[in-house]
Amino acid sequence: MFTVRIFLERAPSMELGERRKNDALLAKELAAFLLFGGLAALTNLLIGWQLYGKGSFPALPYWCATAIAATGGLLVNFGLNYAFNFQFRGRSALRQFSTFTIVALIGVAITSALSYGILSLLNASVGPVLHLGSLAVKSVFAAHFIAVGLTVLYSFPAHKCISFNVGIRAQFHNVYVQILERT
């Protein structure tokens, strides 16, 4: 958040060319993040389907299956974004991965909570199968799919500003220093 705030505070004084360059970089990062997130989401959904859809693990609760699936997606997402997207190298890959994991675990919780909530709504309204025209989709899969898509609204800004940046402690420290300067 601090990085975004600093960017916005400096934006009016930036040259037009510099703003366009920053906008182009942000668009490139977002596009790559969405592509890599799509691959991570596919990984997430495939793992989830193996765990809850095929009936291979009938005793595994749905929320646990979606959490395991989201964790698989997390690993794919970090690896691709670190290697090919975000260029911040002011911290080691291990430290960025540690922060990424914390931020992503919040995303895992969001995905699991949304999946469960959406599944409850679908079961109450349409039952165990959602009919989209002639296509029948299990409600468990539809809920998981929708939750994964919604979680990206949290993931991109959080990872850009925290994971692939100076980290959580440095962001809190910067905010603390700004508060002290204003008092």
In 3D, which of 87, 65, 66, 84 has the Cα closest to residue 76?
84
Mean pLDDT of 164-168: 91
Token duo for residue 97? 């991965």
> How many whole angstroms separate alpha carbon 146 and alpha carbon 76?
19
The strand pairing partners of 130, in sequence order, are 137
Confidence of residue 71 (pLDDT cuts 50, 70, 90): confident
Mean pLDDT of 1-24: 65
Q: What percent of the chain has pLDDT above 90?
A: 57
In 3D, which of 9, 41, 67, 22 has the Cα closest to residue 160?
22
SS3 per-residue string spanning 81-113: HHHHCCCCCCCCHHHHHHHHHHHHHHHHHHHHH
> How many whole angstroms separate alpha carbon 178 and alpha carbon 128?
51
Residue 11 has pLDDT above 70, yes or no: no
Q: Considering Cα of 19, then 87, then 109, then 115, what sign does the dihedral take?
A: positive
pLDDT score, position 138: 95
Residue 18 has pLDDT above 60, yes or no: yes
pLDDT score, position 177: 93
Residue 12 has pLDDT above 60, yes or no: no
Span 109-140, pLDDT tens digits: 999 999 999 999 999 999 999 999 999 999 99
Rg (CA), the chain: 19
Residue 182 has pLDDT above 70, yes or no: yes
pLDDT score, position 13: 59
Mean pLDDT of 144-159: 89
Which amino acid appears at position 24 of this protein?
A: A
Residue 156 has pLDDT above 50, yes or no: yes
